[in-house]
């Protein structure tokens, strides 16, 4: 999630500027339906909408791509959408939120995509009494399954209002986080094994990256939950009681996803702790080896150093008579062996070897 690009401070509110990297092509699909009626077309001229607007059917206008500001402007005029809401549609990088403009509700959610990286795409909605406008950042076929359900006829979705259609889209948006969570869950498990068996600097960087992604998802998911909750409680009469039951289910899903997310966060903090302990452990291991080798050989080397001294045994009987002793050499080797064994015994008693 890139954060919202901001206008120069002092710009008049409601100024519509397309996002910098928005591709120019924009697809506009219209579906008008009621229990017994279904029509679907790609729109090229937005004036075509007017006819449907007056019919008793429910219309769903799906805009894919943000490259053409004038599309939004025309929709704004036809449906009386608030300029601030339109500005927010274009400012990708918004947090999920619900704004109540009395005649219509405006809400933003984000859909998750699992590409090389986890990405979230802004997804804006205008819900009025008999219309739903959905606006995606980039063209795609994200909602083909829902269109298919509409085409099939006489399904619940055809019998219900625009609010139920909105629910199905919200449900799809929220459910897009389940595969992402499953993917992250696998990464968490892999890291848990890695940190115990072969912790390395790469593990650390991986954990940091994971935490970063969880952090970003968290910043998307909590306000998503709140948005759905506000939608359930809105009091403009745009949401029926029946749809409220379905939104509650959707809300439960959001809570569940957040639950998984928070578990992942706690686990990755735990992994960090294990990693740090592992480092400490490894350092101890290294030092133990050094200490064992050093404390065995340093005294031995000292002893050999003693008998490497050149005191002149001829000058005095006190000067290193051992050097001429009959068993001098084997005796000193034996002595060294004993010293080494004593040391090893000491280490064993301390539990180091």
Between residue 94 and residue 133, which ones bind its own copies under the rule CB under 8 A?
94-95, 97, 99, 101
Which of 39, 155, 338, 348 binds its own copies (CB under 8 A)? It is 155
CA–CA separation, 318 vs 292, rounded Å? Answer: 35
CA–CA separation, 26 vs 64, rounded Å? Answer: 6
Which of 55, 77, 240, 280 binds its own copies (CB under 8 A)? It is 280
> Are 63 and 26 spatial neighbours (Cβ–Cβ below 8 Å)?
yes
Find the shortest distance in angstroms from Cβ 47 to its own copies: 26
Q: Looking at residues 42 to 101 of the shown chain, list those that interact with its own copies (rule: CB under 8 A).
A: 82, 84, 87-88, 94-95, 97, 99, 101
CA–CA separation, 237 vs 346, rounded Å? Answer: 82
Instruction: Using alpha carbons, list the distances in angstroms from residue 71 to 3, 43, 61, 88.
Output: 24, 11, 11, 15
Q: Binding pattern to its own copies, positions 327-346, x when CB under 8 A?
A: xxxx-xx-------------
Q: Which stretch binds its own copies (CB under 8 A): 20-28, 64-72, 118-126, 314-322?
A: 314-322
Residue length, the chain? 353
Q: Which stretch binds its own copies (CB under 8 A): 63-71, 126-134, 170-178, 229-237?
A: 170-178
Tokens 């009395």: give the residue. 102
CB of 175 or CB of 234, closer to its own copies: 175
Count of residues that bind its own copies according to CB under 8 A: 119
Residue 38 as a binder of its own copies (CB under 8 A): the answer is no
Q: Which stretch binds its own copies (CB under 8 A): 40-48, 49-57, 67-75, 279-287?
A: 279-287
Tokens 């015994």: give the residue. 345
- Written as six digits, the tokens of 343 are 């040391």
Q: Which stretch binds its own copies (CB under 8 A): 31-39, 71-79, 126-134, 151-159?
A: 151-159
Residue 18 as a binder of its own copies (CB under 8 A): the answer is no
Sign of CA dihedral 337, 338, 342, 343: negative
β-pair type (131-136, 58-64)? parallel
Nearest CA among 3, 59, 55 for reference residue 29: 59
Quote the crossing angle between the two packed helices 162-175 and 144-152, to the nearest 10°.
140
Residue 240 as a binder of its own copies (CB under 8 A): the answer is no
CA–CA separation, 67 vs 20, rounded Å? Answer: 9
First to last CA, the chain: 52
Q: Which helix (H) or strand (E) holds 333?
A: helix 328-349
CB of 37 or CB of 311, closer to its own copies: 311
Find the shortest distance in angstroms from Cβ 204 to its own copies: 5
Residue 183 as a binder of its own copies (CB under 8 A): the answer is no
Q: Looking at residues 195 to 224 of the shown chain, list those that interact with its own copies (rule: CB under 8 A).
A: 196, 198, 201, 204-205, 208, 211-212, 215-216, 219
Which of 11, 27, 77, 240 binds its own copies (CB under 8 A)? It is 11
CB of 49 or CB of 220, closer to its own copies: 220
């Amino acid at each position: 999630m890139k954060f919202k690009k901001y206008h120069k401070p002092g710009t008049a509110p409601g100024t519509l500027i397309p996002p910098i990297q928005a591709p120019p092509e924009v697809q506009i699909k219209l579906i008008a339906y009621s229990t017994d009626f279904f029509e679907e077309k790609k729109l090229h001229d937005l004036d075509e909408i007017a006819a449907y607007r007056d019919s008793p059917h429910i219309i769903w206008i799906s805009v894919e791509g943000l490259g053409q500001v004038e599309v939004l402007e025309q929709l704004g005029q036809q449906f009386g959408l608030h300029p601030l809401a339109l500005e927010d549609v274009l400012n990708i990088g918004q947090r999920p939120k619900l704004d109540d403009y009395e005649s219509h509700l405006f809400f933003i959610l984000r859909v998750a995509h699992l590409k090389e990286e986890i990405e979230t795409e802004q997804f804006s909605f205008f819900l009025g009494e008999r219309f739903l406008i959905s606006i995606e950042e980039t063209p795609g076929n994200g909602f083909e399954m829902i269109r298919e359900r509409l085409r099939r006829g006489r399904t619940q979705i055809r019998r219900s209002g625009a609010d139920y259609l909105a629910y199905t889209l919200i449900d799809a948006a929220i459910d897009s986080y389940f595969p992402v969570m499953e993917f992250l869950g696998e990464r968490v498990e892999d890291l848990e094994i890695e940190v115990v068996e072969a912790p390395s600097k790469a593990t650390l960087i991986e954990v940091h990256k994971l935490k970063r992604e969880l952090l970003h998802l968290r910043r998307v998911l909590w306000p998503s939950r709140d948005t759905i909750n506000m939608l359930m409680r809105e009091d403009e009469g745009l949401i029926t009681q029946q749809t409220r039951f379905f939104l509650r289910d959707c809300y439960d899903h959001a809570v569940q996803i957040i639950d998984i997310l928070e578990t992942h966060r706690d686990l990755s903090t735990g992994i960090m702790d294990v990693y740090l302990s592992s480092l400490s452990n490894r350092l101890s291991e290294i030092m133990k080896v050094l200490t064992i080798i050093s404390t065995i050989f340093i005294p031995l080397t000292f002893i050999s150093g003693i008998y490497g001294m050149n005191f002149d045994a001829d000058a005095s009987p006190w000067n290193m008579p051992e050097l001429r002793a009959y068993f001098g050499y084997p005796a000193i080797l034996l002595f060294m062996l004993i010293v080494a064994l004593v040391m090893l015994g000491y280490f064993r008693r301390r539990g180091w070897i």
